Structure 1
Protein backbone atom coordinates (compact mmCIF):
# COMPACT_ATOMS: atom_id res chain seq x y z
CA UNK A 1 0.00 0.00 0.00
CA UNK A 2 1.37 3.44 -0.94
CA UNK A 3 0.66 6.93 0.45
CA UNK A 4 0.86 9.73 -2.14
CA UNK A 5 0.52 13.37 -1.30
CA UNK A 6 -0.96 15.65 -3.90
CA UNK A 7 -0.03 19.22 -4.39
CA UNK A 8 -2.89 20.49 -2.20
CA UNK A 9 -1.94 18.19 0.72
CA UNK A 10 -4.61 15.54 0.17
CA UNK A 11 -3.45 12.00 0.82
CA UNK A 12 -4.34 9.21 -1.61
CA UNK A 13 -4.38 5.61 -0.39
CA UNK A 14 -3.71 3.01 -3.08
CA UNK A 15 -4.33 -0.69 -2.44
CA UNK A 16 -1.84 -3.10 -3.88
CA UNK A 17 -3.43 -5.55 -6.35
CA UNK A 18 -2.21 -8.48 -4.19
CA UNK A 19 -4.48 -7.44 -1.32
CA UNK A 20 -7.53 -7.33 -3.61
CA UNK A 21 -6.74 -10.79 -4.97
CA UNK A 22 -6.28 -12.14 -1.46
CA UNK A 23 -9.74 -10.93 -0.35
CA UNK A 24 -11.38 -12.44 -3.43
CA UNK A 25 -9.56 -15.74 -2.84
CA UNK A 26 -10.79 -15.89 0.77
CA UNK A 27 -14.39 -15.47 -0.38
CA UNK A 28 -14.02 -18.28 -2.87
CA UNK A 29 -12.64 -20.57 -0.19
CA UNK A 30 -15.51 -19.70 2.13
CA UNK A 31 -18.07 -20.38 -0.62
CA UNK A 32 -16.40 -23.70 -1.42
CA UNK A 33 -16.46 -24.76 2.26
CA UNK A 34 -20.15 -23.87 2.62
CA UNK A 35 -21.01 -25.81 -0.58
CA UNK A 36 -19.06 -28.85 0.61
CA UNK A 37 -20.72 -28.84 4.02
CA UNK A 38 -24.19 -28.48 2.46
CA UNK A 39 -23.56 -31.38 0.08
CA UNK A 40 -22.25 -33.54 2.94
CA UNK A 41 -25.34 -32.75 5.00
CA UNK A 42 -27.71 -33.67 2.16
CA UNK A 43 -25.90 -36.96 1.47
CA UNK A 44 -25.97 -37.84 5.17
CA UNK A 45 -29.71 -37.07 5.35
CA UNK A 46 -30.51 -39.21 2.29
CA UNK A 47 -28.40 -42.11 3.55
CA UNK A 48 -29.99 -41.95 7.01
CA UNK A 49 -33.54 -41.99 5.58
CA UNK A 50 -32.76 -44.97 3.33
CA UNK A 51 -31.16 -46.79 6.23
CA UNK A 52 -34.17 -46.19 8.48
CA UNK A 53 -36.60 -47.30 5.74
CA UNK A 54 -34.59 -50.44 5.03
CA UNK A 55 -34.36 -51.28 8.73
CA UNK A 56 -38.10 -50.76 9.21
CA UNK A 57 -38.96 -52.99 6.23
CA UNK A 58 -36.63 -55.71 7.46
CA UNK A 59 -38.07 -55.49 10.96
CA UNK A 60 -41.66 -55.80 9.69
CA UNK A 61 -40.76 -58.80 7.52
CA UNK A 62 -38.92 -60.44 10.39
CA UNK A 63 -41.85 -59.83 12.73
CA UNK A 64 -44.26 -61.46 10.25
CA UNK A 65 -42.01 -64.49 9.95
CA UNK A 66 -40.95 -64.99 13.56
CA UNK A 67 -43.91 -63.71 15.58
CA UNK A 68 -45.39 -66.56 17.65
CA UNK A 69 -48.85 -67.94 16.85
CA UNK A 70 -51.86 -67.29 19.04
CA UNK A 71 -51.75 -69.12 22.34
CA UNK A 72 -54.04 -72.11 22.79
CA UNK A 73 -56.02 -70.20 25.39
CA UNK A 74 -56.74 -67.31 23.00
CA UNK A 75 -57.63 -69.73 20.21
CA UNK A 76 -60.03 -71.64 22.46
CA UNK A 77 -61.70 -68.41 23.56
CA UNK A 78 -62.19 -67.20 19.98
CA UNK A 79 -63.64 -70.53 18.87
CA UNK A 80 -65.88 -70.73 21.93
CA UNK A 81 -67.47 -67.30 21.60
CA UNK A 82 -67.83 -67.52 17.82
CA UNK A 83 -69.66 -70.85 18.01
CA UNK A 84 -71.89 -69.76 20.90
CA UNK A 85 -73.26 -66.57 19.35
CA UNK A 86 -76.98 -66.21 18.54
CA UNK A 87 -76.46 -66.16 14.76
CA UNK A 88 -78.46 -69.03 13.26
CA UNK A 89 -76.05 -69.38 10.30
CA UNK A 90 -72.95 -69.89 12.41
CA UNK A 91 -70.77 -72.97 12.26
CA UNK A 92 -70.78 -75.46 15.09
CA UNK A 93 -67.94 -75.63 17.59
CA UNK A 94 -66.81 -78.95 16.06
CA UNK A 95 -66.62 -77.48 12.55
CA UNK A 96 -64.70 -74.38 13.65
CA UNK A 97 -62.28 -76.39 15.74
CA UNK A 98 -61.31 -78.59 12.77
CA UNK A 99 -60.23 -75.52 10.81
CA UNK A 100 -58.55 -73.95 13.83
CA UNK A 101 -56.51 -77.12 14.38
CA UNK A 102 -55.40 -77.16 10.72
CA UNK A 103 -54.23 -73.54 10.95
CA UNK A 104 -52.20 -74.32 14.05
CA UNK A 105 -50.42 -77.14 12.20
CA UNK A 106 -48.73 -74.71 9.82
CA UNK A 107 -44.99 -74.62 10.43
CA UNK A 108 -44.93 -71.01 9.20
CA UNK A 109 -47.61 -68.33 8.72
CA UNK A 110 -50.48 -69.96 6.83
CA UNK A 111 -51.90 -68.98 3.46
CA UNK A 112 -55.63 -69.37 4.06
CA UNK A 113 -58.18 -69.06 1.21
CA UNK A 114 -61.90 -68.85 1.97
CA UNK A 115 -64.75 -68.98 -0.53
CA UNK A 116 -67.56 -67.00 1.10
CA UNK A 117 -67.86 -64.03 3.47
CA UNK A 118 -69.78 -65.39 6.45
CA UNK A 119 -70.44 -64.96 10.15
CA UNK A 120 -66.94 -66.35 10.83
CA UNK A 121 -65.03 -63.92 8.59
CA UNK A 122 -63.36 -61.97 11.40
CA UNK A 123 -62.71 -65.21 13.28
CA UNK A 124 -60.75 -66.71 10.37
CA UNK A 125 -58.65 -63.57 10.10
CA UNK A 126 -57.91 -63.65 13.83
CA UNK A 127 -57.13 -67.38 13.99
CA UNK A 128 -54.68 -67.12 11.08
CA UNK A 129 -52.46 -64.84 13.13
CA UNK A 130 -49.51 -63.43 11.11
CA UNK A 131 -50.65 -65.36 8.02
CA UNK A 132 -52.37 -64.26 4.83
CA UNK A 133 -56.14 -64.69 4.79
CA UNK A 134 -58.03 -64.05 1.54
CA UNK A 135 -61.80 -64.12 1.00
CA UNK A 136 -63.63 -64.72 -2.31
CA UNK A 137 -67.30 -63.80 -2.49
CA UNK A 138 -69.98 -63.71 -5.18
CA UNK A 139 -71.38 -60.34 -4.05
CA UNK A 140 -69.15 -57.45 -5.11
CA UNK A 141 -71.06 -54.93 -3.01
CA UNK A 142 -70.77 -56.99 0.14
CA UNK A 143 -67.07 -57.61 -0.46
CA UNK A 144 -66.51 -53.85 -0.87
CA UNK A 145 -68.55 -53.16 2.27
CA UNK A 146 -66.55 -55.63 4.35
CA UNK A 147 -63.23 -54.18 3.17
CA UNK A 148 -64.38 -50.65 3.95
CA UNK A 149 -65.67 -51.58 7.40
CA UNK A 150 -62.72 -53.83 8.24
CA UNK A 151 -59.61 -52.56 6.37
CA UNK A 152 -57.58 -55.54 7.60
CA UNK A 153 -59.76 -57.94 5.55
CA UNK A 154 -58.54 -58.87 2.05
CA UNK A 155 -61.63 -59.69 -0.03
CA UNK A 156 -62.34 -60.05 -3.76
CA UNK A 157 -65.51 -60.69 -5.71
CA UNK A 158 -65.92 -63.28 -8.46
CA UNK A 159 -68.75 -63.87 -10.92
CA UNK A 160 -69.99 -67.47 -11.04
CA UNK A 161 -71.48 -68.61 -14.35
CA UNK A 162 -72.75 -71.95 -13.02
CA UNK A 163 -76.19 -73.10 -11.87
CA UNK A 164 -76.87 -75.76 -9.29
CA UNK A 165 -79.41 -77.38 -11.63
CA UNK A 166 -76.63 -77.93 -14.22
CA UNK A 167 -74.23 -79.63 -11.80
CA UNK A 168 -74.40 -83.12 -13.37
CA UNK A 169 -73.71 -81.81 -16.89
CA UNK A 170 -70.90 -79.55 -15.67
CA UNK A 171 -69.16 -82.35 -13.79
CA UNK A 172 -69.46 -84.66 -16.80
CA UNK A 173 -67.98 -81.99 -19.09
CA UNK A 174 -65.02 -81.50 -16.76
CA UNK A 175 -64.32 -85.24 -16.62
CA UNK A 176 -64.22 -85.32 -20.43
CA UNK A 177 -61.62 -82.53 -20.45
CA UNK A 178 -59.51 -83.85 -17.57
CA UNK A 179 -56.49 -84.33 -19.86
CA UNK A 180 -56.80 -80.90 -21.44
CA UNK A 181 -58.49 -77.76 -20.10
CA UNK A 182 -59.57 -79.38 -16.83
CA UNK A 183 -56.27 -80.93 -15.74
CA UNK A 184 -55.70 -81.36 -11.98
CA UNK A 185 -52.41 -79.44 -12.18
CA UNK A 186 -52.48 -76.12 -14.03
CA UNK A 187 -52.62 -72.36 -13.75
CA UNK A 188 -56.34 -71.69 -13.92
CA UNK A 189 -55.71 -68.12 -15.03
CA UNK A 190 -55.20 -69.49 -18.56
CA UNK A 191 -57.82 -72.24 -18.40
CA UNK A 192 -61.17 -72.46 -20.20
CA UNK A 193 -62.46 -75.28 -17.99
CA UNK A 194 -66.16 -74.76 -17.22
CA UNK A 195 -65.67 -75.21 -13.48
CA UNK A 196 -62.35 -73.40 -13.20
CA UNK A 197 -62.41 -69.86 -11.78
CA UNK A 198 -60.08 -67.92 -14.06
CA UNK A 199 -61.01 -64.34 -13.13
CA UNK A 200 -59.49 -64.12 -9.67
CA UNK A 201 -56.69 -61.57 -9.15
CA UNK A 202 -53.63 -62.92 -10.97
CA UNK A 203 -51.48 -63.00 -7.83
CA UNK A 204 -53.76 -65.52 -6.12
CA UNK A 205 -52.88 -68.25 -8.63
CA UNK A 206 -49.22 -68.00 -7.59
CA UNK A 207 -49.85 -68.49 -3.87
CA UNK A 208 -49.18 -71.88 -2.28
CA UNK A 209 -52.33 -72.27 -0.19
CA UNK A 210 -52.02 -74.26 3.04
CA UNK A 211 -55.70 -74.26 4.03
CA UNK A 212 -58.75 -73.72 1.80
CA UNK A 213 -62.33 -73.44 3.04
CA UNK A 214 -65.31 -73.70 0.68
CA UNK A 215 -68.21 -71.98 2.43
CA UNK A 216 -69.74 -70.25 -0.59
CA UNK A 217 -71.26 -69.32 -2.91
CA UNK A 218 -74.97 -70.01 -2.32
CA UNK A 219 -76.31 -73.39 -3.34
CA UNK A 220 -79.75 -74.00 -1.93
CA UNK A 221 -82.05 -73.67 -4.97
CA UNK A 222 -81.78 -74.65 -8.68
CA UNK A 223 -80.79 -71.20 -10.00
CA UNK A 224 -78.11 -70.62 -7.35
CA UNK A 225 -74.48 -70.87 -8.55
CA UNK A 226 -73.69 -73.80 -6.27
CA UNK A 227 -70.21 -74.68 -5.02
CA UNK A 228 -69.06 -76.88 -7.88
CA UNK A 229 -66.64 -74.25 -9.27
CA UNK A 230 -65.27 -73.37 -5.84
CA UNK A 231 -64.62 -77.04 -5.00
CA UNK A 232 -63.00 -77.74 -8.39
CA UNK A 233 -60.82 -74.62 -8.10
CA UNK A 234 -59.75 -75.60 -4.58
CA UNK A 235 -58.81 -79.06 -5.86
CA UNK A 236 -56.61 -77.61 -8.62
CA UNK A 237 -54.94 -74.99 -6.41
CA UNK A 238 -54.06 -77.63 -3.82
CA UNK A 239 -52.52 -80.00 -6.37
CA UNK A 240 -50.65 -77.23 -8.21
CA UNK A 241 -48.56 -76.02 -5.27
CA UNK A 242 -44.98 -75.24 -6.26
CA UNK A 243 -43.24 -75.04 -2.88
CA UNK A 244 -43.72 -75.22 0.86
CA UNK A 245 -45.70 -77.97 2.53
CA UNK A 246 -46.84 -80.41 -0.19
CA UNK A 247 -50.14 -80.97 1.65
CA UNK A 248 -53.20 -78.72 1.68
CA UNK A 249 -56.18 -78.94 4.00
CA UNK A 250 -59.44 -78.42 2.09
CA UNK A 251 -62.67 -78.00 4.05
CA UNK A 252 -66.13 -78.13 2.48
CA UNK A 253 -68.92 -76.72 4.62
CA UNK A 254 -72.48 -77.97 4.11
CA UNK A 255 -70.96 -81.29 3.14
CA UNK A 256 -74.36 -82.87 3.81
CA UNK A 257 -75.69 -81.21 0.61
CA UNK A 258 -75.84 -83.78 -2.19
CA UNK A 259 -74.19 -81.72 -4.94
CA UNK A 260 -71.38 -80.57 -2.64
CA UNK A 261 -70.68 -84.16 -1.64
CA UNK A 262 -70.74 -85.45 -5.23
CA UNK A 263 -68.45 -82.67 -6.47
CA UNK A 264 -66.06 -83.29 -3.58
CA UNK A 265 -65.99 -87.01 -4.35
CA UNK A 266 -65.07 -86.29 -7.97
CA UNK A 267 -62.33 -83.69 -7.46
CA UNK A 268 -61.19 -83.82 -3.82
CA UNK A 269 -61.59 -87.61 -3.75
CA UNK A 270 -62.82 -89.96 -1.05
CA UNK A 271 -59.34 -91.37 -0.55
CA UNK A 272 -58.30 -87.92 0.73
CA UNK A 273 -61.26 -87.52 3.12
CA UNK A 274 -59.86 -87.61 6.65
CA UNK A 275 -62.97 -86.57 8.55
CA UNK A 276 -66.65 -85.96 7.93
CA UNK A 277 -68.58 -84.73 10.94
CA UNK A 278 -71.57 -82.47 11.38
CA UNK A 279 -71.68 -80.31 8.22
CA UNK A 280 -67.97 -80.32 7.44
CA UNK A 281 -65.91 -82.47 5.09
CA UNK A 282 -62.16 -82.34 5.74
CA UNK A 283 -59.79 -83.41 2.96
CA UNK A 284 -55.99 -83.42 2.84
CA UNK A 285 -54.60 -83.20 -0.71
CA UNK A 286 -51.01 -83.58 -1.82
CA UNK A 287 -49.15 -81.78 -4.56
CA UNK A 288 -49.24 -83.67 -7.88
CA UNK A 289 -46.88 -84.03 -10.80
CA UNK A 290 -47.45 -81.50 -13.58
CA UNK A 291 -48.29 -84.28 -16.05
CA UNK A 292 -51.03 -85.82 -13.91
CA UNK A 293 -54.33 -86.41 -15.70
CA UNK A 294 -56.56 -87.86 -12.98
CA UNK A 295 -57.85 -86.26 -9.80
CA UNK A 296 -58.45 -89.49 -7.93
CA UNK A 297 -56.51 -92.74 -7.81
CA UNK A 298 -59.83 -94.60 -7.76
CA UNK A 299 -62.76 -93.40 -9.83
CA UNK A 300 -65.71 -92.36 -7.69
CA UNK A 301 -69.17 -93.80 -7.91
CA UNK A 302 -71.12 -91.01 -6.30
CA UNK A 303 -74.84 -91.17 -6.06
Structure 2
Protein backbone atom coordinates (compact mmCIF):
# COMPACT_ATOMS: atom_id res chain seq x y z
CA UNK A 1 0.00 0.00 0.00
CA UNK A 2 1.23 3.36 -0.93
CA UNK A 3 2.02 5.52 2.04
CA UNK A 4 0.07 8.72 1.64
CA UNK A 5 1.87 10.45 4.53
CA UNK A 6 5.21 10.53 2.78
CA UNK A 7 4.82 14.17 1.66
CA UNK A 8 3.19 15.42 4.78
CA UNK A 9 5.07 18.42 6.30
CA UNK A 10 4.97 19.01 10.02
CA UNK A 11 4.94 22.67 11.00
CA UNK A 12 6.01 23.39 14.56
CA UNK A 13 5.49 26.76 16.29
CA UNK A 14 8.67 27.72 18.04
CA UNK A 15 8.08 28.69 21.67
CA UNK A 16 10.13 31.92 21.17
CA UNK A 17 7.62 33.21 18.65
CA UNK A 18 4.74 32.75 21.10
CA UNK A 19 6.69 34.41 23.90
CA UNK A 20 7.66 37.39 21.71
CA UNK A 21 4.03 38.06 20.73
CA UNK A 22 2.86 37.86 24.32
CA UNK A 23 5.63 40.22 25.42
CA UNK A 24 4.67 42.84 22.85
CA UNK A 25 1.08 42.76 24.00
CA UNK A 26 2.18 43.14 27.63
CA UNK A 27 4.35 46.15 26.76
CA UNK A 28 1.48 47.71 24.85
CA UNK A 29 -0.88 47.12 27.78
CA UNK A 30 1.64 48.58 30.23
CA UNK A 31 2.16 51.65 28.04
CA UNK A 32 -1.60 52.26 27.80
CA UNK A 33 -1.94 51.80 31.57
CA UNK A 34 0.82 54.35 32.24
CA UNK A 35 -0.80 56.88 29.91
CA UNK A 36 -4.17 56.33 31.60
CA UNK A 37 -2.66 56.75 35.06
CA UNK A 38 -0.83 59.91 34.02
CA UNK A 39 -4.05 61.32 32.60
CA UNK A 40 -5.95 60.54 35.80
CA UNK A 41 -3.24 62.12 37.98
CA UNK A 42 -3.20 65.24 35.82
CA UNK A 43 -6.98 65.50 35.92
CA UNK A 44 -7.12 65.12 39.70
CA UNK A 45 -4.30 67.65 40.28
CA UNK A 46 -5.92 70.18 37.96
CA UNK A 47 -9.29 69.86 39.71
CA UNK A 48 -7.69 70.20 43.17
CA UNK A 49 -5.71 73.29 42.08
CA UNK A 50 -8.84 74.87 40.66
CA UNK A 51 -10.78 74.10 43.84
CA UNK A 52 -7.99 75.49 46.06
CA UNK A 53 -7.75 78.69 44.00
CA UNK A 54 -11.52 79.15 44.07
CA UNK A 55 -11.67 78.49 47.82
CA UNK A 56 -8.83 80.94 48.48
CA UNK A 57 -10.53 83.63 46.41
CA UNK A 58 -13.74 83.01 48.30
CA UNK A 59 -12.00 83.32 51.67
CA UNK A 60 -10.26 86.55 50.64
CA UNK A 61 -13.51 88.00 49.34
CA UNK A 62 -15.29 86.96 52.52
CA UNK A 63 -12.60 88.43 54.75
CA UNK A 64 -12.85 91.77 52.96
CA UNK A 65 -16.60 91.89 53.42
CA UNK A 66 -17.56 93.94 56.51
CA UNK A 67 -19.07 91.93 59.34
CA UNK A 68 -21.50 93.47 61.77
CA UNK A 69 -19.45 95.37 64.34
CA UNK A 70 -16.21 94.83 62.41
CA UNK A 71 -14.54 95.97 59.19
CA UNK A 72 -15.57 99.48 58.25
CA UNK A 73 -18.67 99.46 60.42
CA UNK A 74 -18.69 101.63 63.56
CA UNK A 75 -18.26 99.96 66.92
CA UNK A 76 -21.62 98.99 68.44
CA UNK A 77 -22.70 101.16 71.37
CA UNK A 78 -22.54 98.16 73.71
CA UNK A 79 -18.88 97.59 72.83
CA UNK A 80 -18.02 101.27 73.34
CA UNK A 81 -19.80 101.37 76.70
CA UNK A 82 -18.04 98.19 77.80
CA UNK A 83 -14.62 99.55 76.87
CA UNK A 84 -15.30 102.81 78.71
CA UNK A 85 -16.60 100.98 81.76
CA UNK A 86 -13.55 98.76 82.19
CA UNK A 87 -11.10 101.55 81.34
CA UNK A 88 -12.65 103.80 84.00
CA UNK A 89 -12.37 100.96 86.55
CA UNK A 90 -8.65 100.47 85.94
CA UNK A 91 -6.40 99.94 88.94
CA UNK A 92 -3.85 102.36 87.46
CA UNK A 93 -3.43 105.41 89.69
CA UNK A 94 -3.45 107.86 86.77
CA UNK A 95 -6.33 106.47 84.73
CA UNK A 96 -9.06 108.77 83.45
CA UNK A 97 -12.49 108.67 85.13
CA UNK A 98 -15.57 107.88 83.07
CA UNK A 99 -16.58 111.56 83.04
CA UNK A 100 -13.38 112.37 81.09
CA UNK A 101 -13.45 109.36 78.79
CA UNK A 102 -17.04 109.83 77.66
CA UNK A 103 -16.73 113.27 75.93
CA UNK A 104 -13.69 112.12 73.94
CA UNK A 105 -15.40 108.85 73.04
CA UNK A 106 -18.52 110.73 71.87
CA UNK A 107 -16.47 112.93 69.54
CA UNK A 108 -14.64 109.91 68.10
CA UNK A 109 -17.95 108.11 67.56
CA UNK A 110 -19.35 111.06 65.58
CA UNK A 111 -16.12 111.67 63.66
CA UNK A 112 -16.35 110.96 59.95
CA UNK A 113 -14.53 107.79 58.91
CA UNK A 114 -11.61 107.50 58.63
CA UNK A 115 -10.96 109.71 61.65
CA UNK A 116 -7.49 111.15 62.31
CA UNK A 117 -6.68 111.15 66.04
CA UNK A 118 -3.45 112.61 67.47
CA UNK A 119 -2.52 112.05 71.12
CA UNK A 120 0.33 113.67 73.05
CA UNK A 121 1.32 111.18 75.73
CA UNK A 122 1.34 107.39 76.16
CA UNK A 123 -1.05 106.80 79.03
CA UNK A 124 -3.16 104.00 80.59
CA UNK A 125 -5.79 104.84 77.94
CA UNK A 126 -3.51 104.27 74.94
CA UNK A 127 -5.05 100.94 73.89
CA UNK A 128 -8.53 102.34 74.52
CA UNK A 129 -8.00 105.26 72.11
CA UNK A 130 -6.69 102.89 69.45
CA UNK A 131 -9.71 100.62 69.88
CA UNK A 132 -12.29 103.43 69.86
CA UNK A 133 -10.81 104.81 66.64
CA UNK A 134 -10.47 101.37 65.01
CA UNK A 135 -11.47 102.61 61.55
CA UNK A 136 -9.18 105.65 61.61
CA UNK A 137 -5.60 106.72 62.06
CA UNK A 138 -4.32 107.03 65.63
CA UNK A 139 -0.85 108.42 66.35
CA UNK A 140 0.85 108.86 69.74
CA UNK A 141 3.63 111.31 70.61
CA UNK A 142 5.69 110.80 73.78
CA UNK A 143 8.81 112.40 75.27
CA UNK A 144 10.31 109.06 76.35
CA UNK A 145 11.90 107.33 73.36
CA UNK A 146 12.49 104.10 75.30
CA UNK A 147 8.89 103.89 76.46
CA UNK A 148 7.63 104.60 72.94
CA UNK A 149 9.84 101.83 71.53
CA UNK A 150 8.77 99.44 74.29
CA UNK A 151 5.09 100.18 73.68
CA UNK A 152 5.40 99.58 69.94
CA UNK A 153 7.26 96.32 70.52
CA UNK A 154 4.65 95.09 72.99
CA UNK A 155 1.72 96.35 70.90
CA UNK A 156 2.76 96.38 67.20
CA UNK A 157 -0.60 97.90 66.22
CA UNK A 158 0.29 101.11 68.10
CA UNK A 159 1.81 103.94 66.03
CA UNK A 160 4.03 105.86 68.49
CA UNK A 161 6.83 108.40 68.02
CA UNK A 162 9.14 110.13 70.45
CA UNK A 163 9.88 113.85 70.47
CA UNK A 164 12.56 115.87 72.23
CA UNK A 165 11.03 118.76 74.17
CA UNK A 166 13.33 121.74 74.72
CA UNK A 167 11.02 123.67 77.06
CA UNK A 168 10.89 123.92 80.85
CA UNK A 169 7.75 124.45 82.83
CA UNK A 170 9.44 127.20 84.85
CA UNK A 171 9.98 129.19 81.60
CA UNK A 172 6.31 129.22 80.60
CA UNK A 173 5.76 133.00 80.92
CA UNK A 174 8.87 133.91 78.93
CA UNK A 175 8.03 131.38 76.23
CA UNK A 176 4.50 132.72 75.83
CA UNK A 177 5.75 136.30 75.54
CA UNK A 178 8.38 135.28 72.97
CA UNK A 179 5.82 133.30 70.95
CA UNK A 180 3.30 136.13 70.82
CA UNK A 181 6.01 138.60 69.76
CA UNK A 182 6.80 136.28 66.81
CA UNK A 183 3.16 135.71 65.83
CA UNK A 184 3.69 137.38 62.44
CA UNK A 185 6.91 135.46 61.72
CA UNK A 186 8.15 132.13 63.14
CA UNK A 187 5.17 131.57 65.45
CA UNK A 188 2.32 132.15 63.01
CA UNK A 189 -0.99 130.46 63.91
CA UNK A 190 -1.17 128.96 60.40
CA UNK A 191 2.01 127.32 59.09
CA UNK A 192 3.90 124.09 58.52
CA UNK A 193 5.82 123.71 61.77
CA UNK A 194 8.30 121.40 60.08
CA UNK A 195 10.02 124.53 58.75
CA UNK A 196 9.50 126.71 61.83
CA UNK A 197 11.97 127.92 64.44
CA UNK A 198 9.28 128.96 66.92
CA UNK A 199 10.40 128.04 70.45
CA UNK A 200 7.03 126.52 71.32
CA UNK A 201 6.51 124.76 67.99
CA UNK A 202 7.44 121.09 67.64
CA UNK A 203 9.37 120.80 64.37
CA UNK A 204 11.03 117.39 64.76
CA UNK A 205 7.99 115.14 64.46
CA UNK A 206 7.85 112.70 61.52
CA UNK A 207 7.10 114.60 58.31
CA UNK A 208 3.74 112.94 57.71
CA UNK A 209 2.41 114.19 61.06
CA UNK A 210 2.37 117.72 59.62
CA UNK A 211 0.56 116.55 56.47
CA UNK A 212 -2.35 114.74 58.13
CA UNK A 213 -5.59 116.68 58.59
CA UNK A 214 -6.20 115.91 62.27
CA UNK A 215 -9.85 115.71 63.34
CA UNK A 216 -9.27 115.16 67.06
CA UNK A 217 -6.22 116.05 69.19
CA UNK A 218 -5.74 115.06 72.82
CA UNK A 219 -3.02 116.70 74.92
CA UNK A 220 -2.28 114.35 77.82
CA UNK A 221 1.48 114.81 77.93
CA UNK A 222 4.31 115.47 78.41
CA UNK A 223 4.97 115.55 82.14
CA UNK A 224 4.97 118.86 83.93
CA UNK A 225 4.96 118.31 87.68
CA UNK A 226 8.22 120.10 88.53
CA UNK A 227 10.04 123.27 87.34
CA UNK A 228 12.47 121.49 84.97
CA UNK A 229 9.81 119.25 83.46
CA UNK A 230 9.00 120.04 79.79
CA UNK A 231 5.38 120.98 80.55
CA UNK A 232 2.62 120.96 77.94
CA UNK A 233 3.19 124.41 76.45
CA UNK A 234 4.65 123.10 73.17
CA UNK A 235 2.04 120.37 72.81
CA UNK A 236 -0.81 122.87 73.26
CA UNK A 237 0.69 125.43 70.87
CA UNK A 238 1.42 122.73 68.27
CA UNK A 239 -2.12 121.37 68.57
CA UNK A 240 -3.51 124.85 67.91
CA UNK A 241 -1.35 125.37 64.81
CA UNK A 242 -2.15 121.93 63.38
CA UNK A 243 -5.88 122.58 63.84
CA UNK A 244 -5.80 126.02 62.20
CA UNK A 245 -3.55 124.90 59.32
CA UNK A 246 -5.83 122.21 57.88
CA UNK A 247 -6.14 122.45 54.11
CA UNK A 248 -8.96 119.98 53.49
CA UNK A 249 -11.48 117.75 55.19
CA UNK A 250 -13.61 118.91 58.11
CA UNK A 251 -12.65 122.55 58.85
CA UNK A 252 -13.19 121.95 62.57
CA UNK A 253 -10.81 120.17 64.95
CA UNK A 254 -11.65 119.03 68.47
CA UNK A 255 -8.79 119.65 70.91
CA UNK A 256 -8.94 118.15 74.41
CA UNK A 257 -6.66 119.20 77.29
CA UNK A 258 -6.44 116.69 80.11
CA UNK A 259 -5.59 117.79 83.67
CA UNK A 260 -7.29 121.06 82.78
CA UNK A 261 -6.96 122.48 86.30
CA UNK A 262 -3.17 122.75 85.86
CA UNK A 263 -1.71 126.23 85.38
CA UNK A 264 0.00 125.38 82.08
CA UNK A 265 -3.20 123.96 80.60
CA UNK A 266 -5.31 126.91 81.76
CA UNK A 267 -2.91 129.61 80.61
CA UNK A 268 -1.73 128.08 77.32
CA UNK A 269 -5.24 126.93 76.51
CA UNK A 270 -6.47 130.50 76.90
CA UNK A 271 -3.56 131.96 74.91
CA UNK A 272 -3.31 129.53 71.99
CA UNK A 273 -6.64 127.68 71.82
CA UNK A 274 -8.70 130.69 72.94
CA UNK A 275 -11.59 131.06 75.35
CA UNK A 276 -14.10 131.68 72.55
CA UNK A 277 -13.33 128.17 71.28
CA UNK A 278 -13.84 126.48 74.66
CA UNK A 279 -16.90 124.26 74.31
CA UNK A 280 -16.84 122.93 77.87
CA UNK A 281 -14.37 122.48 80.67
CA UNK A 282 -14.01 121.17 84.21
CA UNK A 283 -11.13 120.49 86.55
CA UNK A 284 -10.02 117.46 84.54
CA UNK A 285 -10.85 118.11 80.90
CA UNK A 286 -11.05 121.11 78.59
CA UNK A 287 -12.78 120.70 75.22
CA UNK A 288 -11.99 123.22 72.47
CA UNK A 289 -13.25 123.32 68.89
CA UNK A 290 -10.96 125.20 66.49
CA UNK A 291 -11.69 126.11 62.89
CA UNK A 292 -9.39 126.35 59.92
CA UNK A 293 -7.92 129.85 59.50
CA UNK A 294 -6.59 131.87 56.61
CA UNK A 295 -2.84 131.74 55.99
CA UNK A 296 -2.56 135.49 56.46
CA UNK A 297 -3.86 135.36 60.06
CA UNK A 298 -1.55 136.95 62.63
CA UNK A 299 -3.41 136.35 65.87
CA UNK A 300 -4.52 133.24 67.70
CA UNK A 301 -7.73 134.58 69.24
CA UNK A 302 -10.30 137.06 67.96
CA UNK A 303 -10.03 139.31 71.02
CA UNK A 304 -6.24 139.14 71.16
CA UNK A 305 -3.70 141.74 70.03
CA UNK A 306 -1.33 140.51 67.32
CA UNK A 307 1.66 141.90 69.22
CA UNK A 308 0.42 141.27 72.72
CA UNK A 309 3.24 140.85 75.19
CA UNK A 310 1.13 140.31 78.25
CA UNK A 311 -0.14 137.07 79.70
CA UNK A 312 -3.61 136.16 80.82
CA UNK A 313 -4.44 137.45 84.27
CA UNK A 314 -4.94 133.86 85.42
CA UNK A 315 -1.18 133.29 85.31
Identify the TM-score tier after normalising by the shorter chain: 0.7 to 0.9
Corresponding residue for 1:194?
A: 199
Query: 1: CA distance between counterparts of 2:176 and 2:258?
Result: 19
Is the Cα–Cα contact under 8 Å of residues 113 and 135 in structure 2 kept in the other structure? no
- Equivalent position of 1:183 in the other structure: 188
Separation in 2, partners of 1:253, 1:112:
15
Structure 1, gaps ≥5 residues long = 1-47, 61-65
Structure 1 segment 23-172 matched on structure 2, within 5 A: 67-172=72-177
Cα displacement string for residues 51-72 of structure 1 (whole angstroms, at most 9, x for unaligned residues): x9xx99xx69xxxxx8111111
1:301 equivalent in alignment to 2:312: yes
Q: Provide, for residues 24-53 of structure 1, a one-character-per-residue CA deviation record: whole Å limited to 9, x for no partner.
A: xxxxxxxxxxxxxxxxxxxxxxxx9xxx9x
1:23 is matched with none
TM-fit CA distance, 1:278: 3.7
When the two structures are superposed, what TM-score results if normalisation uses the length of structure 2? 0.75
Aligned twin of 2:286: 281
Q: Distance in 1 between matches of 2:94 and 2:313?
A: 28
Counterpart secondary structure, 1:225: coil
Could you tell me whether the CA contact under 8 Å between 1:265 and 1:302 is conserved in 2? no
Helix, strand or coil: the match of 1:275? strand
Mapped partners of 2:296, 2:214: distance in 1: 20
Structure 2 Cα separation of the partners of residues 227 and 85 of structure 1:
25
What is the TM-score of this pair, normalised by structure 1?
A: 0.78
CA contact (8 A) 2:217 2:255 kept: yes
- Give yes or no for the alignment of 1:244 onto 2:255: no
Structure 1 ranges of 4+ moved more than 4 A: none
**Aligned counterpart, 1:231:** 236
Residue 178 of structure 2 corresponds to 173
Aligned-partner Cα distance in 1 for 2:241–2:110? 22
Match of residue 215 from structure 1: 220
Aligned residues: 247
Contact map agreement 1:94 1:278 (CA 8 A) in 2 = no
Deviates more, 1:173-182 or 1:103-112: 103-112
TM-aligned CA deviation for residue 260 of structure 1? 1.4
Q: Which entry has the higher C-alpha Rg, 1 or 2?
A: 2
CA positional deviation for 1:108: 1.6
Q: Which runs of 5+ in 2 are unaligned?
A: 1-52, 66-70, 305-310
Please, what is the CA RMSD of the aligned residues? 2.0
Contact 1:95–1:278 (CA under 8 A) maintained in structure 2: no
Instruction: Give the Å deviation of 1:302.
Output: 3.6
Write out aligned runs for 1:246-285 (5 A). 246-285=251-290
Cα distance in 2 for partners of 1:108, 1:278 equals: 31
Whether contact under 8 Å (2:111, 2:215) holds in the other structure is yes
- Look up the SS of the partner of 2:152 in the other structure: helix
